[in-house]
Amino acid sequence: MHNIKTQVTIIGGGPAGLTLSHILDHAGIENIVLERQSKEHVLSRIRAGVLEPAAAQLLRDIGLGERMDANGKSKDGTKIVWQDRPDFFIDTKKWTGQPMMAYGQTNITEDLYEARERDGAQIYTEAKGVQIHDIDTSDPSVTFTQGTEQYKISSDYIAGCDGFHGPSRQAIPTSVRKEYERVYPFGWLGIMVEKPPLEDFIYAYHKDGMAMAAQRNPMLSRYYVQVPTSDSIDDWSDQRFWDTLLHRFPEELSSKIQTGPSIEKSIAPLRSFVSEPMSFGTLFLAGDAAHIVPPTGAKGLNLAFSDVYYLSRALQHHYSEGSDHYLEKYSEMALRRVWAAENTSWWLTKLLHYFPDEDKFDQKIRENDYDLLLTSEDHQRALAYEYIGLPFED
Ligand code: FAS
Ligand code: PHB
C-alpha cells in the first residue's frame, strides 16, 4: 500500500476536477487528481458546446483562455425557431452586454490536460475502486488501485468532481442527503458531422419533437433531435436522423443544413437533478457529482465552472487566510446558482419539447410563453439574463 499525503484529493479528471486542480496548483495548494478512465477516454467524450460569459472569463483569469479566444466563436445569443411562428433570438449581447462563447468541452478538456501536464500535475488515470473514508473527521482519506498497486491518499479535504455516476455523492450519509429529480420522457440523439454549421446555435420547436443545430468549428457541426427514451442508437441510421432533423426545421433553414456521414452518434437521457448539501465534513461536491440539468439551457458545464470558482476560492481562503467562511458558505452559495440554472433549463425544456402526456392546455401555455418572448421586452431581457446565468457571488 502506497501511503501518500496531500492537501486536497480531487476525485474525477473531467472539466470540474481538472480546473479545480489547475487553480489550486497555481495557488500553491497541493492536490492529487484520481481519474477512473484513461486520458484518451476522457478526451474522446463529446458533450457541451457553449460557455456562459462568466465561465469563459474564469478560463481567461486562470490562464486557460488563449486557445478558446483564438479558436472559439463569440455568439450574441441563441436562436429559437418555431413551427408556424416568427423566429426569436435569446440576445444576451443586446440585453446583458455579454456574448456567449462557442467552444467545445472536448477542446476545454484538451486545454486542461495540456496545462496540467505542463505544470507537472499529479493525475492518476485508470484509478480503480476509489473509496472515500472518514470525511466526518479531520483525517479523511481515499483508497484506490492503479494496475496492481494499492494506494491510500490522506488529505485535508476531498473534492468530489466525479460526475453523476461517481462515488462522492454517495459518501454523504442518506440521513443528510436530500435529492430532487425530474426525469424527462425523452432524450437527445446527437451527431457530429464534418460539414460547415449554420451561423447560429438554434433550438427548433416542432409538434413532433425538438431539434437543435450546434457547432464546434467551421468544418464541424453538431445536431440533435428529441427521441423517446425507449429508442436506442441502433434505431437511428444517419438517413433517419437527417430526415427527422430536416423535417423539424423550417424550410428556409433545413435547406441550408449540410448533411453527411456522422463521425459520432449518441443518445443522452435528460434529467434535472440536485443533491443537497454539496458539502459534508471535509467532502465538497462540484459539477455533475452534485447536479444535472437537461442540455436545453447549455448549463451543465457552466455550473461545473461556477462550483469550481466557489470551491477554489474557499480553499484558498482556508490555506492563505485561515478563514473557513467560504468553505462553510460553499454549499448554499453554489446551490443558489445551481437552482437558478435548474429552473432555466427546466423551463426551456418544457418550452421546446413535445411531452407525450401533454394536453391541449399544456400546448396553449407553451404557445403563450413563446408569444410573450416575441412581444415582451421584459420577458426577452429576463430570459437573456437567465441564459448567461447568475453572476458569481462575492
Ligand atoms: P464529468 O462527468 O465531465 O467528469 C467526471 C469525471 O469523473 C469523469 O472523467 C469520470 O470518468 C470520472 N469518474 C467517475 N467516477 C469515478 C471514480 N469512481 N473514480 C475516479 N474518477 C471517476 N452540458 C452542457 O452545458 N451542454 C451540453 O450540450 C451537454 N451535453 C452533454 C451530453 C452528455 C452525453 C452528457 C453525459 C453530459 C452533457 N452535458 C452538457 C453536461 C456535461 O457537459 C457536464 O455538465 C460536464 O461534463 C460536467 O463536468 P464534471 O462535473 O467534471 O463531470
Ligand atoms: C452543443 O453545442 O452541443 C449545445 C449547445 C447548447 C445547448 C446544448 C448543446 O443547449
DSSP one-letter string for 202-227: EEEE-TT--EEEEEEETTEEEEEEEE
Residue 222: CB within 6 Å of ligand 2? yes
Give distance in angstroms: CA of 253 to centre of ligand 1.
31
Question: What was the pLDDT predicted at 353?
Answer: 98
Give distance in angstroms: CA of 88 to centre of ligand 1.
30
The H-or-E segment that residue 387 falls in is helix 377-388
Q: What atom in ligand 1 is closest to the CA of residue 37?
A: 11
Give distance in angstroms: CA of 128 to centre of ligand 2.
31
Q: Distance between CA 316 and CA 114 in Å, rounded? A: 23
Per-residue pLDDT of the chain (394 residues; tens, 9 = 90+): 999 999 999 999 999 999 999 999 999 999 999 999 999 999 999 999 999 999 999 999 999 999 999 999 999 999 999 988 999 999 999 999 999 999 999 999 999 999 999 999 999 999 999 999 999 999 999 999 999 999 999 999 999 999 999 999 999 999 999 999 999 999 999 999 999 999 999 999 999 999 999 999 999 999 999 999 999 999 999 999 999 999 999 999 999 999 999 999 999 999 999 999 999 999 999 999 999 999 999 999 999 999 999 999 999 999 999 999 999 999 999 999 999 999 999 999 999 999 999 999 999 999 999 999 999 999 999 999 999 999 999 9
Q: Going by CA atoms, what residue is nearest to atom 1 of ligand 2? A: 49
For residues 286 and 278, the answer to whether their CB atoms sit within 8 Å is: yes
Give distance in angstroms: CA of 359 to centre of ligand 2.
28
Q: Going by CA atoms, what residue is nearest to atom 32 of ligand 1? A: 47
Give the Cα-Cα-Cα angle 353, 356, 360 (nearest 5 degrees): 85
Residue 283: CB within 6 Å of ligand 1? no
Q: Distance between CA 213 and CA 102 in Å, rounded? A: 12
Angle between helices 360-375 and 377-388 (to 10 degrees): 100
Question: What was the pLDDT predicted at 232?
Answer: 97
Architecture of the domain defined by 2-73+102-180+271-354? 3-Layer(bba) Sandwich (3.50)
For residues 77 and 89, the answer to whether their CB atoms sit within 8 Å is: yes
For residues 223 and 236, the answer to whether their CB atoms sit within 8 Å is: no
Question: What was the pLDDT predicted at 83?
Answer: 87
Which of 288, 312, 345 is the pocket-test mutation for ligand 1 (most atoms within 8 Å of CB)? 288
Question: What was the pLDDT predicted at 187?
Answer: 98
Provide CB contacts within 8 A for 89, sequence distance 6+: 76, 77, 78, 79, 80, 200
- β-sheet with 50-51: strand ranges across: 50-51, 100-102, 73-75
Residue 201: CB within 6 Å of ligand 2? yes
Residue bearing cell 477554489: 312
Give distance in angstroms: CA of 385 to centre of ligand 2.
17
Q: How far is CA 39 from the centre of its chain?
A: 19
What is the domain partition of the chain in residue ranges?
2-73+102-180+271-354
Rg (CA), the chain: 21
Give distance in angstroms: CA of 14 to centre of ligand 1.
6
Question: What was the pLDDT predicted at 51?
Answer: 98
Residue 50: CB within 6 Å of ligand 2? yes
Q: Distance between CA 19 and CA 36 in Å, rounded? A: 17
Which of 52, 189, 222 is the pocket-test mutation for ligand 2 (most atoms within 8 Å of CB)? 222
Q: Distance between CA 12 and CA 111 in Å, rounded? A: 16
Q: Distance between CA 97 and CA 237 in Å, rounded? A: 42
| For the CA of 215, the nearest ligand | 2
The H-or-E segment that residue 68 falls in is helix 66-71
Residue 294: CB within 6 Å of ligand 2? no
Nearest to 26 by CA among 325, 283, 318, 316: 316
Q: How many other CB atoms are there within 10 angstroms of residue 311's CB atom? A: 32
Nearest to 128 by CA among 112, 161, 151: 151
Nearest to 211 by CA among 79, 90, 88, 302: 79
Q: Going by CA atoms, what residue is nearest to atom 6 of ligand 2? A: 298
Give distance in angstroms: CA of 47 to centre of ligand 2.
8
Give the Cα-Cα-Cα angle 365, 371, 375 (nearest 5 degrees): 145
Residue bearing cell 440554472: 341
Give distance in angstroms: CA of 163 to centre of ligand 1.
5
Provide CB contacts within 8 A for 347, sequence distance 6+: 386
Q: What atom in ligand 2 is closest to the CA of residue 297?
A: 10
